[in-house]
Homo-oligomer: A and B are copies of this chain.
Protein backbone atom coordinates (compact mmCIF):
# COMPACT_ATOMS: atom_id res chain seq x y z
CA UNK A 1 0.00 0.00 0.00
CA UNK A 2 1.35 3.37 -0.84
CA UNK A 3 -0.23 6.44 0.59
CA UNK A 4 1.14 9.80 1.44
CA UNK A 5 0.70 11.77 4.58
CA UNK A 6 1.10 15.45 4.02
CA UNK A 7 2.02 17.37 7.10
CA UNK A 8 1.09 14.55 9.36
CA UNK A 9 1.72 16.75 12.29
CA UNK A 10 -1.53 18.40 11.47
CA UNK A 11 -3.48 15.25 11.33
CA UNK A 12 -2.22 12.57 13.64
CA UNK A 13 -0.86 14.35 16.58
CA UNK A 14 -2.53 13.52 19.66
CA UNK A 15 -3.31 10.30 21.42
CA UNK A 16 -4.75 10.63 24.87
CA UNK A 17 -1.91 9.62 27.12
CA UNK A 18 -4.39 8.38 29.67
CA UNK A 19 -5.55 5.60 27.43
CA UNK A 20 -3.57 2.45 27.07
CA UNK A 21 -2.12 1.54 23.75
CA UNK A 22 -4.71 -1.11 23.19
CA UNK A 23 -7.52 1.36 23.31
CA UNK A 24 -6.08 4.58 21.99
CA UNK A 25 -5.71 6.35 19.77
CA UNK A 26 -8.31 4.13 18.27
CA UNK A 27 -7.91 5.25 14.70
CA UNK A 28 -4.14 4.95 14.85
CA UNK A 29 -3.23 2.07 17.03
CA UNK A 30 -3.71 -0.60 14.47
CA UNK A 31 -3.26 1.56 11.42
CA UNK A 32 0.28 2.70 11.95
CA UNK A 33 1.97 -0.29 10.56
CA UNK A 34 0.00 -0.61 7.33
CA UNK A 35 0.08 3.12 6.76
CA UNK A 36 3.80 3.12 7.29
CA UNK A 37 5.84 2.43 4.20
CA UNK A 38 8.27 -0.32 5.05
CA UNK A 39 11.51 1.35 6.04
CA UNK A 40 13.59 2.06 3.00
CA UNK A 41 17.26 1.29 3.29
CA UNK A 42 19.52 4.28 3.01
CA UNK A 43 20.24 5.17 -0.59
CA UNK A 44 23.91 5.90 -0.14
CA UNK A 45 24.59 6.51 -3.80
CA UNK A 46 21.71 8.81 -4.43
CA UNK A 47 23.69 11.69 -5.75
CA UNK A 48 22.85 15.21 -4.88
CA UNK A 49 24.45 16.22 -8.14
CA UNK A 50 21.78 14.52 -10.15
CA UNK A 51 19.20 17.03 -9.09
CA UNK A 52 18.49 20.04 -11.15
CA UNK A 53 19.47 23.43 -9.86
CA UNK A 54 17.44 23.12 -6.73
CA UNK A 55 18.77 21.44 -3.72
CA UNK A 56 19.68 18.57 -1.86
CA UNK A 57 16.76 18.42 0.45
CA UNK A 58 14.37 17.88 -2.39
CA UNK A 59 16.28 14.77 -3.37
CA UNK A 60 14.72 12.87 -0.57
CA UNK A 61 11.24 14.08 -1.36
CA UNK A 62 11.63 12.67 -4.81
CA UNK A 63 12.60 9.20 -3.73
CA UNK A 64 11.53 8.49 -0.20
CA UNK A 65 7.89 9.53 -0.23
CA UNK A 66 5.15 9.81 -2.75
CA UNK A 67 5.47 13.03 -4.66
CA UNK A 68 4.03 16.30 -3.56
CA UNK A 69 3.57 18.59 -6.54
CA UNK A 70 4.46 22.20 -5.79
CA UNK A 71 1.76 24.56 -6.97
CA UNK A 72 2.15 28.16 -8.00
CA UNK A 73 -1.28 29.16 -6.78
CA UNK A 74 -3.60 28.20 -4.00
CA UNK A 75 -6.41 26.11 -5.44
CA UNK A 76 -9.92 27.00 -4.34
CA UNK A 77 -10.08 23.62 -2.64
CA UNK A 78 -7.94 20.54 -2.07
CA UNK A 79 -11.00 18.30 -2.04
CA UNK A 80 -11.59 15.74 -4.71
CA UNK A 81 -14.30 16.68 -7.13
CA UNK A 82 -16.43 13.84 -5.79
CA UNK A 83 -16.33 15.53 -2.39
CA UNK A 84 -17.89 18.64 -3.86
CA UNK A 85 -14.56 20.24 -4.45
CA UNK A 86 -15.78 22.11 -7.49
CA UNK A 87 -19.33 22.75 -6.42
CA UNK A 88 -20.29 26.18 -5.18
CA UNK A 89 -20.76 26.23 -1.46
CA UNK A 90 -23.77 28.48 -1.91
CA UNK A 91 -25.84 25.40 -2.65
CA UNK A 92 -26.35 24.46 0.94
CA UNK A 93 -27.92 21.11 0.19
CA UNK A 94 -25.22 20.12 -2.31
CA UNK A 95 -21.96 18.33 -1.63
CA UNK A 96 -20.26 21.71 -1.13
CA UNK A 97 -21.90 21.83 2.26
CA UNK A 98 -20.39 18.53 3.38
CA UNK A 99 -18.53 18.58 6.67
CA UNK A 100 -15.34 17.91 4.70
CA UNK A 101 -15.89 20.99 2.58
CA UNK A 102 -16.90 23.21 5.45
CA UNK A 103 -13.99 22.04 7.59
CA UNK A 104 -11.54 22.78 4.80
CA UNK A 105 -13.04 26.24 4.37
CA UNK A 106 -12.86 26.83 8.11
CA UNK A 107 -9.17 25.92 8.43
CA UNK A 108 -8.22 27.94 5.40
CA UNK A 109 -10.09 30.96 6.71
CA UNK A 110 -8.41 30.46 10.08
CA UNK A 111 -5.01 30.26 8.40
CA UNK A 112 -5.68 33.56 6.66
CA UNK A 113 -6.89 35.37 9.73
CA UNK A 114 -4.13 34.09 12.03
CA UNK A 115 -1.42 34.94 9.51
CA UNK A 116 -2.89 38.38 9.00
CA UNK A 117 -2.93 39.03 12.75
CA UNK A 118 0.64 37.74 13.13
CA UNK A 119 1.97 39.92 10.34
CA UNK A 120 0.18 42.95 11.75
CA UNK A 121 1.57 42.35 15.25
CA UNK A 122 5.02 41.56 13.92
CA UNK A 123 5.16 44.75 11.94
CA UNK A 124 8.10 43.53 9.91
CA UNK A 125 8.14 39.88 8.89
CA UNK A 126 5.95 38.36 6.21
CA UNK A 127 4.91 34.78 5.66
CA UNK A 128 6.56 32.72 2.96
CA UNK A 129 4.04 30.36 1.42
CA UNK A 130 4.48 26.88 -0.07
CA UNK A 131 1.49 25.29 -1.77
CA UNK A 132 1.43 21.70 -2.91
CA UNK A 133 -0.97 19.03 -4.00
CA UNK A 134 -1.08 15.28 -4.47
CA UNK A 135 -2.03 13.71 -7.76
CA UNK A 136 -4.82 11.66 -6.17
CA UNK A 137 -6.35 14.62 -4.36
CA UNK A 138 -5.47 16.57 -1.28
CA UNK A 139 -2.67 19.01 -0.66
CA UNK A 140 -1.61 21.75 1.64
CA UNK A 141 -0.46 25.29 2.25
CA UNK A 142 2.54 25.91 4.51
CA UNK A 143 3.22 29.44 5.68
CA UNK A 144 6.32 30.37 7.62
CA UNK A 145 7.46 33.71 8.96
CA UNK A 146 11.07 33.46 10.04
CA UNK A 147 13.25 35.98 11.86
CA UNK A 148 10.56 38.65 12.02
CA UNK A 149 10.56 41.64 14.34
CA UNK A 150 8.49 39.87 17.01
CA UNK A 151 8.55 36.17 16.09
CA UNK A 152 11.69 34.17 15.49
CA UNK A 153 9.64 31.47 13.77
CA UNK A 154 5.92 31.28 13.10
CA UNK A 155 4.45 28.43 11.07
CA UNK A 156 0.79 28.06 10.11
CA UNK A 157 -0.03 25.03 7.95
CA UNK A 158 -3.19 23.54 6.54
CA UNK A 159 -3.46 20.22 4.77
CA UNK A 160 -5.95 17.80 3.32
CA UNK A 161 -5.12 14.11 2.98
CA UNK A 162 -6.80 11.24 1.22
CA UNK A 163 -5.45 7.90 2.39
CA UNK A 164 -6.36 4.32 3.03
CA UNK A 165 -6.47 2.54 6.38
CA UNK A 166 -6.54 -1.20 6.93
CA UNK A 167 -9.88 -2.75 7.90
CA UNK A 168 -8.52 -3.58 11.37
CA UNK A 169 -8.13 0.12 12.06
CA UNK A 170 -11.66 0.77 10.94
CA UNK A 171 -12.96 -2.02 13.15
CA UNK A 172 -10.96 -0.73 16.09
CA UNK A 173 -12.39 2.72 15.50
CA UNK A 174 -15.96 1.56 15.45
CA UNK A 175 -15.72 -1.03 18.21
CA UNK A 176 -15.30 -4.75 18.53
CA UNK A 177 -18.74 -5.69 17.21
CA UNK A 178 -18.02 -7.00 13.76
CA UNK A 179 -14.40 -7.98 14.09
CA UNK A 180 -15.13 -11.14 12.17
CA UNK A 181 -16.23 -9.24 9.08
CA UNK A 182 -13.93 -9.38 6.11
CA UNK A 183 -13.41 -6.06 4.38
CA UNK A 184 -10.85 -4.37 2.21
CA UNK A 185 -8.83 -1.30 3.08
CA UNK A 186 -10.96 1.64 4.16
CA UNK A 187 -10.41 5.02 2.50
CA UNK A 188 -10.11 7.94 4.86
CA UNK A 189 -10.12 11.70 4.62
CA UNK A 190 -8.32 14.03 7.00
CA UNK A 191 -7.94 17.79 7.12
CA UNK A 192 -6.29 20.02 9.65
CA UNK A 193 -4.63 23.27 10.60
CA UNK A 194 -1.48 23.25 12.70
CA UNK A 195 0.57 26.14 13.98
CA UNK A 196 3.48 26.92 16.27
CA UNK A 197 4.44 30.53 16.97
CA UNK A 198 7.79 31.18 18.70
CA UNK A 199 8.41 34.85 19.62
CA UNK A 200 11.85 36.34 20.19
CA UNK A 201 11.22 38.14 23.47
CA UNK A 202 11.64 35.71 26.39
CA UNK A 203 8.62 37.25 28.13
CA UNK A 204 6.37 36.62 25.13
CA UNK A 205 5.01 33.06 25.10
CA UNK A 206 5.03 30.42 22.39
CA UNK A 207 1.62 29.33 21.15
CA UNK A 208 0.61 26.06 19.51
CA UNK A 209 -2.77 25.19 18.07
CA UNK A 210 -4.06 22.40 15.89
CA UNK A 211 -7.57 21.45 14.76
CA UNK A 212 -8.37 18.46 12.59
CA UNK A 213 -11.23 16.42 11.20
CA UNK A 214 -11.07 12.76 10.24
CA UNK A 215 -13.53 10.65 8.26
CA UNK A 216 -13.52 7.11 6.95
CA UNK A 217 -15.66 5.78 4.16
CA UNK A 218 -17.82 2.81 4.95
CA UNK A 219 -15.85 -0.33 4.11
CA UNK A 220 -16.94 -2.16 0.98
CA UNK A 221 -18.41 -5.64 1.33
CA UNK A 222 -19.57 -5.01 4.88
CA UNK A 223 -23.28 -4.30 4.69
CA UNK A 224 -24.46 -1.90 7.32
CA UNK A 225 -21.01 -0.80 8.48
CA UNK A 226 -21.18 2.96 8.88
CA UNK A 227 -18.67 5.62 8.05
CA UNK A 228 -16.74 6.98 11.00
CA UNK A 229 -15.72 10.54 11.80
CA UNK A 230 -14.03 12.38 14.65
CA UNK A 231 -12.57 15.75 15.61
CA UNK A 232 -9.37 16.55 17.47
CA UNK A 233 -7.30 19.54 18.40
CA UNK A 234 -6.36 22.10 20.99
CA UNK A 235 -4.59 25.36 21.76
CA UNK A 236 -1.84 25.65 24.37
CA UNK A 237 0.53 28.28 25.74
CA UNK A 238 4.24 27.86 26.47
CA UNK A 239 5.83 30.84 28.21
CA UNK A 240 9.34 30.95 29.67
CA UNK A 241 8.12 33.28 32.43
CA UNK A 242 4.74 33.44 34.12
CA UNK A 243 2.62 36.56 34.00
CA UNK A 244 -0.52 35.49 35.76
CA UNK A 245 -2.70 37.94 33.90
CA UNK A 246 -1.49 36.47 30.59
CA UNK A 247 -2.13 32.89 31.57
CA UNK A 248 -5.52 33.73 33.06
CA UNK A 249 -6.49 35.65 29.94
CA UNK A 250 -5.42 32.76 27.73
CA UNK A 251 -7.28 30.13 29.72
CA UNK A 252 -10.38 32.29 30.08
CA UNK A 253 -10.66 32.63 26.31
CA UNK A 254 -10.35 28.85 25.98
CA UNK A 255 -12.99 28.36 28.65
CA UNK A 256 -15.36 30.80 26.98
CA UNK A 257 -15.04 28.95 23.69
CA UNK A 258 -15.71 25.65 25.46
CA UNK A 259 -18.59 26.93 27.57
CA UNK A 260 -20.54 27.98 24.50
CA UNK A 261 -20.87 24.29 23.69
CA UNK A 262 -20.67 22.20 26.85
CA UNK A 263 -19.73 23.16 30.42
CA UNK A 264 -17.84 19.89 30.80
CA UNK A 265 -15.50 20.71 27.91
CA UNK A 266 -13.08 23.14 29.56
CA UNK A 267 -12.27 21.12 32.70
CA UNK A 268 -12.05 17.93 30.70
CA UNK A 269 -9.95 19.32 27.84
CA UNK A 270 -7.78 21.39 30.18
CA UNK A 271 -6.76 18.24 32.02
CA UNK A 272 -6.32 16.33 28.77
CA UNK A 273 -3.94 19.06 27.63
CA UNK A 274 -1.90 18.89 30.84
CA UNK A 275 -1.69 15.13 30.42
CA UNK A 276 -0.78 15.17 26.75
CA UNK A 277 2.04 17.72 26.71
CA UNK A 278 3.94 15.77 29.32
CA UNK A 279 7.69 15.26 29.01
CA UNK A 280 7.88 12.00 30.85
CA UNK A 281 11.64 11.82 31.26
CA UNK A 282 11.58 15.21 33.02
CA UNK A 283 8.26 14.91 34.82
CA UNK A 284 7.38 18.31 33.38
CA UNK A 285 4.78 19.62 30.98
CA UNK A 286 6.29 21.60 28.17
CA UNK A 287 4.21 24.64 29.10
CA UNK A 288 1.13 25.95 30.89
CA UNK A 289 -1.48 24.08 28.89
CA UNK A 290 -4.77 25.18 27.47
CA UNK A 291 -7.21 22.72 25.93
CA UNK A 292 -6.75 19.48 24.06
CA UNK A 293 -9.11 16.78 22.78
CA UNK A 294 -9.00 13.87 20.38
CA UNK A 295 -11.24 11.16 18.94
CA UNK A 296 -14.23 13.34 19.67
CA UNK A 297 -17.33 11.89 18.04
CA UNK A 298 -19.83 11.35 20.83
CA UNK A 299 -21.57 14.67 20.24
CA UNK A 300 -23.59 16.02 17.36
CA UNK A 301 -21.33 16.43 14.35
CA UNK A 302 -22.58 19.92 13.56
CA UNK A 303 -22.02 20.93 17.15
CA UNK A 304 -18.42 19.70 17.05
CA UNK A 305 -17.78 21.45 13.75
CA UNK A 306 -19.04 24.60 15.39
CA UNK A 307 -16.87 23.98 18.42
CA UNK A 308 -13.69 23.45 16.36
CA UNK A 309 -14.51 26.62 14.45
CA UNK A 310 -15.00 28.58 17.67
CA UNK A 311 -11.67 27.27 19.00
CA UNK A 312 -9.82 28.23 15.84
CA UNK A 313 -11.42 31.67 15.89
CA UNK A 314 -10.34 32.11 19.50
CA UNK A 315 -6.64 31.87 18.70
CA UNK A 316 -6.14 35.51 17.82
CA UNK A 317 -8.06 37.00 20.78
CA UNK A 318 -6.42 34.53 23.17
CA UNK A 319 -2.86 35.20 22.02
CA UNK A 320 -2.30 38.53 20.32
CA UNK A 321 -3.14 40.73 23.34
CA UNK A 322 -0.46 38.87 25.32
CA UNK A 323 2.07 39.43 22.57
CA UNK A 324 1.23 43.13 22.39
CA UNK A 325 1.91 43.39 26.12
CA UNK A 326 5.21 41.48 26.12
CA UNK A 327 6.90 41.87 22.79
CA UNK A 328 8.95 44.91 23.77
CA UNK A 329 9.68 44.08 27.40
CA UNK A 330 13.38 44.67 28.11
CA UNK A 331 15.31 41.50 28.90
CA UNK A 332 18.80 40.32 29.74
CA UNK A 333 20.98 37.53 28.46
CA UNK A 334 19.96 35.48 31.46
CA UNK A 335 16.30 35.72 30.47
CA UNK A 336 17.16 34.75 26.92
CA UNK A 337 19.20 31.74 28.04
CA UNK A 338 16.28 30.48 30.12
CA UNK A 339 13.92 30.89 27.18
CA UNK A 340 16.41 28.89 25.11
CA UNK A 341 16.48 26.10 27.69
CA UNK A 342 12.66 25.96 27.61
CA UNK A 343 12.89 25.83 23.81
CA UNK A 344 15.08 22.77 24.30
CA UNK A 345 12.21 21.18 26.22
CA UNK A 346 9.90 22.04 23.38
CA UNK A 347 12.21 20.19 21.00
CA UNK A 348 12.37 17.23 23.36
CA UNK A 349 8.60 16.96 23.58
CA UNK A 350 8.05 17.28 19.86
CA UNK A 351 10.77 14.87 18.75
CA UNK A 352 10.37 12.26 21.50
CA UNK A 353 6.67 12.23 22.38
CA UNK A 354 4.49 14.11 19.92
CA UNK A 355 2.70 11.43 17.96
CA UNK A 356 2.16 13.63 14.93
CA UNK A 357 5.83 14.53 14.67
CA UNK A 358 7.26 11.07 15.21
CA UNK A 359 4.60 9.40 13.07
CA UNK A 360 4.97 12.01 10.36
CA UNK A 361 8.75 11.75 10.21
CA UNK A 362 8.71 7.99 10.11
CA UNK A 363 6.04 7.70 7.44
CA UNK A 364 7.54 10.27 5.13
CA UNK A 365 5.31 13.27 5.68
CA UNK A 366 6.47 16.62 4.36
CA UNK A 367 9.44 16.98 6.65
CA UNK A 368 9.79 20.76 6.42
CA UNK A 369 6.13 21.20 7.36
CA UNK A 370 6.44 18.85 10.29
CA UNK A 371 9.63 20.34 11.66
CA UNK A 372 8.50 23.93 11.30
CA UNK A 373 7.21 23.38 14.84
CA UNK A 374 10.80 23.42 16.11
CA UNK A 375 12.11 26.73 17.40
CA UNK A 376 14.75 28.65 15.46
CA UNK A 377 17.17 28.18 18.35
CA UNK A 378 17.36 26.00 21.46
CA UNK A 379 19.77 25.19 24.26
CA UNK A 380 20.69 22.31 26.56
CA UNK A 381 22.76 22.72 29.71
CA UNK A 382 23.83 19.79 31.82
CA UNK A 383 21.85 19.48 35.02
CA UNK A 384 20.54 23.04 35.02
CA UNK A 385 18.52 23.90 38.12
CA UNK A 386 16.87 27.25 38.66
CA UNK A 387 17.33 28.76 42.08
CA UNK A 388 14.44 27.99 44.37
CA UNK A 389 11.97 30.83 44.45
CA UNK A 390 13.33 32.48 41.28
CA UNK A 391 11.09 33.39 38.35
CA UNK A 392 12.56 30.51 36.40
CA UNK A 393 11.80 28.14 39.27
CA UNK A 394 8.19 29.35 39.37
CA UNK A 395 7.70 28.50 35.72
CA UNK A 396 9.25 25.08 36.23
CA UNK A 397 7.07 24.50 39.26
CA UNK A 398 3.96 25.26 37.20
CA UNK A 399 5.15 22.83 34.52
CA UNK A 400 5.63 20.12 37.13
CA UNK A 401 2.45 20.90 39.06
CA UNK A 402 -0.26 22.05 36.63
CA UNK A 403 -2.42 24.76 38.12
CA UNK A 404 -6.02 25.81 37.78
CA UNK A 405 -5.70 29.28 36.35
CA UNK A 406 -9.33 30.31 36.54
Chain A residues at the B interface, C-beta cutoff of 8 Å = 17-18, 39-49, 53-57, 59-60, 63-64, 128, 130, 144, 146, 153, 155, 274-275, 278, 280-283, 285, 340, 344, 347-348, 351-352, 358, 361-362, 364, 367-368, 370-372, 374-386, 388, 393, 396-397, 400-402
Q: Given A49-B397, A146-B381, 4 more contacts at CB 8 Å?
A: A57-B385, A281-B367, A372-B382, A375-B380
Of the candidates B40, B55, B278, B380, which one forms a contact with A371 in the assembled complex, judged by CB atoms under 8 Å apart?
B380
Q: Hey, which chain B residues are within 8 Å of A361, CB to CB?
A: 280-281, 352
Contact with A385, one of B54, B144, B278 (Cβ below 8 angstroms): B54
Nearest first, the 9 closest Cβ-Cβ pairs linking A and B are: A60-B283, A55-B385, A351-B351, A281-B361, A374-B380, A144-B382, A48-B397, A368-B383, A281-B367
A11–B169 alpha-carbon span in the complex (Å): 36
When C-beta atoms are compared, the residue in chain B nearest to A49 turns out to be B397
The count of identical subunits is 2
**A42 and B281 in contact, given A57-B383, A351-B351, A368-B382 (Cβ under 8 angstroms):** no
The complex places the Cα of A371 from the Cα of B63 at a distance, in Å, of 33
List of B residues within 8 angstroms of A374 by Cβ: 344, 380
Report yes or no: A386 in contact with B56, Cβ–Cβ below 8 A.
yes
Best-surrounded residue of A344, A382, A384 (most CB of chain B within 10 A) = A382
Residues on B with C-beta less than 8 A from A362 are: 280-281
How distant is the Cα of A378 from the Cα of B380 in the complex, in angstroms?
9
Q: Which of A18, A40, A53, A377 has the most CB of B within 10 A?
A: A377
Docked complex Cα distance between A283 and B46 (Å): 9
Q: Is the CB of B385 within 8 A of A381?
A: no
Q: Chain B's nearest CB lies how many Å from the CB of A267?
A: 14
Measured between alpha carbons, how far is A283 from B62 in the docked complex, in Å?
11
With A348-B351, A351-B351, A401-B48 known to touch, is A376 a contact of B380 (CB < 8 Å)?
yes
From B46, B400, B402, A400 is in contact (CB under 8 Å) with: B46
Q: Given the interface contacts A55-B388, A396-B48, does A43 sit within 8 Å of B283 by beta carbon? A: yes
Instruction: List, in ascending order, chain B residues with CB within 8 A of A18's CB.
Output: 41
Question: Which residues on B sit within 8 Å (CB–CB) of A352?
Answer: 351-352, 358, 361
CB of A362, distance to nearest CB on chain B (Å): 7
Q: In the docked arrangement, what's the CA distance between A340 and B39, Å?
A: 28
Separation in Å of the A351 CB from the closest CB of chain B?
4
Residues of B within 8 A of A402 (CB): 44
- Name 8 A/B residue pairs within 8 A (Cβ), A-sorted: A48-B401, A54-B385, A63-B283, A144-B383, A146-B381, A155-B382, A368-B383, A371-B380
CB distance from A399 to the nearest CB of B (A): 9
Cβ contact within 8 Å between A377 and B378: yes
